[in-house]
Amino acid sequence: MSESAAPGIDTAFPLSPEMRAAIIAHARREAPRECCGIIAGRDGAPVRVYPTTNIAEGNRFYEIDPKELADLEFRELPNENAEIVAIYHSHPASPAYPSRTDVELAFWPEAVYLICSLEDPDKPYIRGFTIRDGQIAEVTLPA
Ligand SMILES: [Zn+2]
């Protein structure tokens, strides 16, 4: 990931309706496990959702398969002149807010962390955050 996030990405992230739907569909497929994936972008703007495999055990954590992540980060995305702009995962039974573990394992200060909550199965929703040095800040998503 480059250091050159687009201006404004800190406070607003232009998640498209299609990307929102793709993340919710992935969350529903994986429930009761957490799903995870990344969003690739160019110049900080999201262009494509890449679902990845969650290799964490149990239903309360996620860990993106490191091989899939490396393939994306170092091969596929550079080939497409893209980079990781967001990392998403789901909270199948809790609110869309970073858990303590999410904060401890947030190794991407330039990325937006998207969390999809299925706490109310009929009303899934997504919130976005930056997590830097343990500090959580909310990022505005389109309504
Ligand atoms: Zn989480």
Query: What are residue 126's phi and psi, to 5 degrees?
Result: -125, 135
pLDDT band at 9 (very low <50, low <70, confident <90, very high): low
Rounded average pLDDT over 94-123? 96
| 104 alpha carbon – ligand 1 mean position (Å) | 11
Interior angle at CA 69, CA 7 and CA 116, nearest 5? 65
| 90 alpha carbon – ligand 1 mean position (Å) | 6
pLDDT at 143: 83
| 59 alpha carbon – ligand 1 mean position (Å) | 10
* Fold of domain 17-139: Cytidine Deaminase; domain 2 (3.40.140)
Q: What residues have their beta carbon closer than 5 A to ion ligand 1?
A: 99, 102
**In the chain, where are the structural domains located?**
17-139
Please list, in sequence order, all residues whose beta carbon lies within 8 angstroms of the beta carbon of residue 60, skipping any fewer than 6 positions away: 34
pLDDT band at 10 (very low <50, low <70, confident <90, very high): low
| 130 alpha carbon – ligand 1 mean position (Å) | 13
| 78 alpha carbon – ligand 1 mean position (Å) | 27
| 67 alpha carbon – ligand 1 mean position (Å) | 21
DSSP secondary structure letters along the chain? --S-PPTTTTTB----HHHHHHHHHHHHHHTTSPPEEEEEEETTEEEEEEEE-B--SSSS---B-HHHHHHIIIIIHHHTT-EEEEEEEEETTS-SS--HHHHHT---TTSEEEEEE-SSTTS-EEEEEEEETTEEEEEB---
| 137 alpha carbon – ligand 1 mean position (Å) | 15
* pLDDT, tens digit (0-9, with 9 covering 90-100), for 24-70: 999 999 999 999 999 999 987 899 999 999 999 999 999 999 999 99
* pLDDT, tens digit (0-9, with 9 covering 90-100), for 114-139: 999 999 999 999 999 999 999 999 99
